[in-house]
Structure 1
Amino acid sequence: MDPTPLLDGVVLRVLRPEDAAALAAAYTRNREHLAPWEPTRDAAFFTAAGQETEIAAQLESARLGGSLPMVLVDADGTIVGRFTLSGIVRGPFQSANVGYWVDAELAGRGLATAALARVVQVARDELGLHRLQAATLTHNAGSRRVLERNGFVHIGFAPDYLKIGGRWQDHELFQVILHD
């Protein structure tokens, strides 16, 4: 995947080992913004050393074909978001899950929509996937709009689907079919 310019000088590119400190800073800066939407994180997660461990695991998964971890980087080199294709399954399924977040300072400007459009294109054209799935908390209207703007359709409801913010929470499920 080549780095892709999106909006206002922000680029979507594959995560790198040297991103640990910048990613720790991004998570720290967005800790309150992300808390309602993510699993509870321990203090080590917000450190460069914690991110080195996370990145190593994600890049190993990518090496094995199970994921594609990406970051949004602004013109100054600051990480301002994450997009990840995870749980890539080949064979007759050819599917992956997509997850994402955008920096609080850039939310609501169309960046997530533009980045997801590029992720969908990469999944279809470079990875040859047939389908992407995403799950949103039932009250996450912003994420739902990003998905719908990229052709995702609602396919179901999953009670107690993920442990977010310290408790099991219901999610709405969405998918987009990439090939007919």
Structure 2
Amino acid sequence: MIDDNHRIDAETWLRPVTEADAASLAVSMTRSRAYMRPWEPVRPDAFYTEEGQRQRLAGLLAEREAGRVMPWVLADGQDRAVGGFNLNAVVLGPFRSATLGYWVDVTHAGRGLATAAVRRICELARDELRLHRVEAGTVSDNTASQRVLAKCGFEQYGFAPRYLHIDGEWRDHRLYQRILHDGPVTGEPAAPGV
């Protein structure tokens, strides 16, 4: 189910984000700030504080209730957030699509956690949200993220010059999608607000 915990490996699971994650997200994002800099927008220092994360989470949770965003964290064995995964811009009706965004703490990178979590999110998007497709974009030279998407069945469908303002400049992006199914649109999604 969309609100369940989903085991990723022996020490890590994917679970819905809560306001209680603000402190561990602030720690994890601060620790990973330099590592993620080439792939992230420039953010104010306040973003990396517990209060900054609390404010960000309040917005995410409100968007979740409205059915527009499905946010999860990657949690370690002590239930600390060490990554974030969102299905953003969830649209139902005949489109039935969402945009995937994700990051993994520098101390957990390279272990296949992003790949396992993206696979599980695609299953949830198909089976629980009843989406037809999920899309994602990467900065054109983010080969690690591109490998994750390829392993999870995403195919590049476009290239967007100067797509997002990342690390202080407008950066080109490769656009990917995964078609989850080609069946009819039936039933209501299981997620709150969607």
2:21–2:80 CA contact under 8 A, matched in 1 = no
How many Å separate the matches in 1 of 2:41 and 2:52?
15
Deviates more, 1:168-177 or 1:22-31: 22-31
Whole-Å separation in 1 of the counterparts to 2:111 and 2:47: 27
Instruction: Provide the residue aligned with 1:125 in structure 2.
Output: 127
After superposition, the C-alpha distances for 1:114-170 in whole angstroms (9 at most, x for unaligned) are 000001011111111100000011111110110011110010100111111011100
In structure 1, C-alpha distance between the alignment counterparts of 2:114 and 2:24, rounded to whole Å:
19
**1:52 is matched with which residue?**
54
Please tell me the root mean square deviation across aligned C-alpha atoms, in Å: 0.8
Which one-letter code corresponds to 1:124 in the other structure?
Answer: R
Determine the C-alpha separation between the residues in 2 that align with 1:24 and 1:104: 13
- Counterpart of 2:109, as a letter, is A
CA distance in 1, matches of 2:18, 2:126: 22
Aligned-partner Cα distance in 2 for 1:47–1:20: 8
User: How many residues of Structure 1 are paired with residues of Structure 2 in the alignment?
Assistant: 180
Give the whole-Å Cα distance in 2 for the aligned partners of 1:17 and 1:139.
33
Structure 1 stretches of at least 4 aligned residues deviating more than 6 Å after TM superposition: none
In structure 1, C-alpha distance between the alignment counterparts of 2:64 and 2:78, rounded to whole Å: 26
Q: Does 1:19 align with 2:21?
A: yes
Select 2:117's aligned residue among 115, 118, 132: 115
1:9-158 paired onto structure 2 within 5 Å: 9-158=11-160
State how far apart, in whole Å, the 2-side matches of 1:63 and 1:4 are. Answer: 21
Give the deviation of 1:34 after TM superposition.
Answer: 1.0
- Report % sequence identity: 48
CA distance in 1, matches of 2:134, 2:107: 27
Give 3-state SS (helix, strand or coil) of 2:84's partner.
Answer: strand
Counterpart in the other structure of 2:161:
159
* Deviation (angstroms), 1:8: 3.3
Query: Mind listing any 5+ residue stretches in structure 2 that lack a counterpart?
Result: 183-194
Supply the AA of the counterpart residue of 1:118: R
Superimposed CA distance per residue, residues 94-129 of structure 1 (whole angstroms, 9 cap, x where no aligned partner): 000001111112211111100000010111111111
Q: Secondary structure at the match of 2:165?
A: strand
Structure 2 CA distance for aligned equivalents of residues 62 and 146 of structure 1: 25
- How far apart in 1 are the matches of 2:170 and 2:36? 16
Shift of 1:78: 2.1
Q: Counterpart of 2:175?
A: 173
Consecutive unaligned residues in structure 1, runs of 5 or more: none
Secondary structure at the aligned position of 1:6 is classed as strand
Give the partner amino acid of 2:44.
D
Q: In structure 2, what residue type is equivalent to 1:52?
A: R
| Deviations, residues 28-47 of structure 1 (Å, cap 9, x unaligned) | 11111111111101011011
**Which structure is higher in RCO with an 8 Å CA cutoff and minimum separation 6?**
2
